[in-house]
Structure 1
């Protein structure tokens, strides 16, 4: 976070900069290069513990700003040895590589003081760290002091150093999302729950711009000591606190942010953690006197700036997303039969819009001696996937659909693999005429991508009402001038060897309904993932612009009020915000495409950018450098990873903090299934719970959820219990569950 802002400041002053780091993001580097096209920026990709990369980075430099570190308490707790290796040994290696007559600036931390008894803390306060991260930073300071003194005593190298003990830094949009202020801001802007750990923290919050000022002043001071004959000195190690001389409570931060963003976020309070110092104000008298440092950004102005920057990034992201693939929202889409021909050899699904506007899917029926029909259309069916063939015949395009299936003449016979086709019939033909066909003539609506299928001779297709089950219909051909062609959707599922994006892929009504509009019971045949997302991008951009305009209208100096804390029980939160779920977009500053009339939720679909490069060795005894030379066994890689990793590594930071606080479990009451279903479930338990049972489809997931909920189920208490309702899908084998399905969902 600090590094990118400091690089920009130095490039703006025409200072040549070399950056050594293990992780870069090309788009962020491109933004810097675009902003300073004539600057001298050199990038070295590597670890500070790599002697070769370190030597390459040091070529031609006059001084070093040392920001490389495992910079969070939680990260250090996940691998104590690697934390010390990076923060202590890594610092020593960088010091050894600094050239003669050079200078060194260490980004240290207020964590070296722990929980001080006297506030504000002055620089000569002894080290008393409260956690492993603070101890590593204190050890790094000791390494720097000993190294400079040794170089001066032995006259081996002329070197000066400054250590800046930073307060809690905030203010960068690209900062770590799980840190205190970014977490509060992102959740408030998207009206998601805000988690407060303890709430009695009273900390010195310093804006990143003020921190960059401090580094710039330190660079100037050291450079003058190195070059000015009047101020030339060697062997000095100076320490400065960098903060604001003021403290802000966590409660104030939340209340100010809620008021600033007009947020309806609820608040979750969990117990505090004594591994994190909760009170700190650093004295900046020395930094002011000797560096000329002064904090210029108040907490109110800093929060206002962060909210404005986040919304500006949101507007830019949404505008860019509308112009990019696969959306191209500003382009008029055009479909032709050439798109159909591109799907030759693909696996596809077929859907049509029924007489009543419902979506029906083409389902495969297993062939046997009594049933040869493989063409059946059903609403809410499991979608069958077909092998598609497409060919041109003159001016026409013909398509066929087939799949490989097992055929048994009777139950005792050995199964044979046969090719099954979608077969349609033309009734009322003259005696002796072939009334079936497996190829269809295809037409494509250019603006919607709807596909119209007819018999090869152009005979229209219609849904027969003479079918055993009302929910299932057969499609036959009939020459009738009043018959309208059915709108159909053709969706590729897999096109082996063909580069995506495939035609029609983003126009499938089922994913559009389930993933975008979020209505599991309402499938809009006209839905298109692209069309839906484009409309949401536009609405969300307009919403973000309105919010940004509100912030820009604030008068200066910025003074924020404090909203009431939205306390309450978790089970009340949903009642407060009875809205539909917003779409999710990875890369969005808050991940939520907020149109102003939807509900943002936490998502496991997206993760913040992995700015911490050593996560692969978390909860191990391994070192991140050199990279562990472990060749994974493909047969046991999943089991090995599960054995190595902690459960805390696979859940989001809020959930991790919540569960590591060992909270009291909420009362959970699991609704009992109807008696008839309980009898079947208990007598065929393996069919409900065995993972991967093909007949039960998603039953294994439903069963696992129910069994987990049953383990913590308690008798129901009005106003206190969370209620879990088991859900089992309708299918041909579970007729009882089919009858009870609606009742279970409605409980």
Structure 2
């Protein structure tokens, strides 16, 4: 199988590429992978260093909004796995234009190219944030979408475009929506790597509001396993939820990260809450479990321990990224702690 992976130098995309070329994903043994990535601030060629010499790997430095890039990259592939997106909510609150460009217009350009060049399957990777907040229970795949943030709104628009291409043009589209991912190689503006790298440097960490916001945490490798199952066996025109099975408030997650890094609550600053901050996300994963046999395999205790250890052992990867991460984190930056 020949796969085109957009955004494959980012956090989740690069995990998928490394796992696919390492023959660790179900049904993808022997797959060849072409990555298309614009290498914006969070796209990093170093994320692909472990597979750079693999004969089945090709890298294209390009923009999915660029017709020439797509004309070169798309033909000859059996499937597209579409990760490329602007993803950081805080950045979308102060400037949504590039989110619209990449997440909406880029997805449309890619869908058109897939249709034009006869790509067999288009897997669009989306997020639970398209549903907005839910007080209790869990969203099912048929629930109406009601995004709150500009980022989520652009992802919702991309979801609808992808599904419309299936209905109107017969393109073999499947959409996945996942919960919060964590693991190695995550750009350190997101909560877990921001907190861990700050704490490892003796810096303070910022906790939004009262910390009662709830998220379900999904290890990035489990996410990629689920994507492989959907890619090979998901039904065309369908949406599949991917979750990790561990809901934590931000206070509970902070407690775990402080303990893992040997720090206490004196390292935490309560900062003003994010505007229109969704209280809780939760996805029902019955569909992917019953149809495709997916179950999360990485527990939160082992997963967080492995993640913290990776950041502790890979300073050379994240230290150069901290200035850009801090610049994009809004109030979620930390100052040096006097110890």
TM superposition shift of 1:140: 0.9
Q: 1:657 aligns to what SS in structure 2?
A: coil
Alignment of 1:464-543 (within 5 A): none
Contact 1:44 1:56 in 2 (8 A): no
Contact 2:246 2:300 in 1 (8 A): no
SS in structure 2 of the partner of residue 212 of structure 1: helix
Name the count of aligned residue pairs: 310
User: Within the alignment, does 1:177 sit opposite 2:188 as a pair?
Assistant: yes
Contact 1:21/1:44 (<8 A) preserved: yes
- The alignment status of 1:57 with 2:73, answered yes or no, reads yes
Which runs of structure 1 show a deviation greater than 6 angstroms over 4 or more consecutive aligned residues?
none
How do 1:204-353 and structure 2 match up within 5 A? Answer: 204-221=216-233, 236-264=236-264, 266-314=267-315, 317=316
Q: After TM superposition, give the deviation of residue 38 of structure 1 in Å.
A: 4.3
In 2, distance between residues paired with 1:139 and 1:217? 24
Deviation at 1:171, TM superposition (A): 1.0
1:109 is aligned to 127
Matched, 1:608 2:316: no
| SS of aligned partner of 1:237 | coil
Deviations 1:368-424 (A, max 9, x none): xxxxxxxxxxxxxxxxxxxxxxxxxxxxxxxxxxxxxxxxxxxxxxxxxxxxxxxxx
Q: Who is 1:162 aligned against? A: 174
- Residue in 1 that maps onto 2:26: none
1:200: which partner in 2?
Answer: 212
Q: Work out whether residues 134 and 282 of structure 2, in 8 Å CA contact, stay in contact via their aligned partners in 1.
A: no
TM-score (norm 2): 0.85
For the residue of structure 1 that corresponds to 2:102, the secondary structure is: helix
Using structure 1 for the length normalisation, give the TM-score: 0.40
Whether the 8 Å contact between 1:165 and 1:241 is mirrored in structure 2 is yes
1:374-389 aligned at under 5 Å gives the runs none
Q: Is 1:657–2:307 an aligned residue pair? A: no
Secondary structure class of the residue paired with 2:206: strand
In the alignment, which residue of structure 2 is the partner of 1:45? 61
Residue 607 of structure 1: how far off its partner (Å): 4.6
1:657 Cα shift? Answer: 1.3
Pairing 1:10–2:20 present: yes
Q: d(CA) in 2 for partners of 1:67 and 1:653?
A: 20
Q: Note the 1:614-629 alignment, pairs <5 A.
A: none
Describe the shift of the 1:609–1:148 C-alpha distance in structure 2 as closer, same or farther (beyond 3 A).
farther
CA positional deviation for 1:253: 0.9
The offset of 1:91, in angstroms, is 0.7
Aligned-partner Cα distance in 1 for 2:249–2:126: 23
Distance in 2, matches of 1:204 and 1:26, equals: 29
Contact 2:123 2:175 in 1 (8 A): yes
User: In structure 2, the residue corresponding to 1:204 is in which secondary structure?
Assistant: strand
Q: How big is the shift at 1:189? A: 2.5
1:175, CA displacement in angstroms?
1.2
Please name the residue that 1:129 is paired with.
Answer: 147
Unaligned runs of 5+ in 2: 1-10, 24-29, 334-339
Supply the distance in 2 between the matched residues of 1:103 and 1:30 (Cα, whole angstroms). 27
Equivalent residues in 2 for 1:58-77, closer than 5 Å: 58-77=74-93
Conservation of the 8 A alpha-carbon contact between 2:159 and 2:175: yes
Larger Rg: 1
In 2 relative to 1, CA 50–287 (structure 1 residues): closer, same or farther, beyond 3 Å? same
Q: Contact 1:148–1:237 (CA<8 Å) still a contact in 2?
A: yes
Q: Distance in 1 between the 2:46 and 2:176 partners? A: 30
Contact 1:119 / 1:280 at 8 angstroms: preserved in 2?
Answer: no
Secondary structure of 1:608's partner?
helix
The answer on whether the counterparts of 1:120 and 1:245 sit within 8 Å (CA) in structure 2 is no
Q: Look up the match of 1:745.
A: none
1:310 Cα deviation (Å)? 1.5
Q: Is the 8 A contact 2:135 2:280 kept in 1?
A: no
**Contact 2:85-2:103 at 8 Å conserved across structures:** yes
Q: Please identify which structure carries the higher helix content.
A: 2
CA contact (8 A) 1:168 1:204 kept: yes
User: Is the CA contact (8 Å cut-off) linking 2:80 and 2:119 kept in structure 1?
Assistant: no
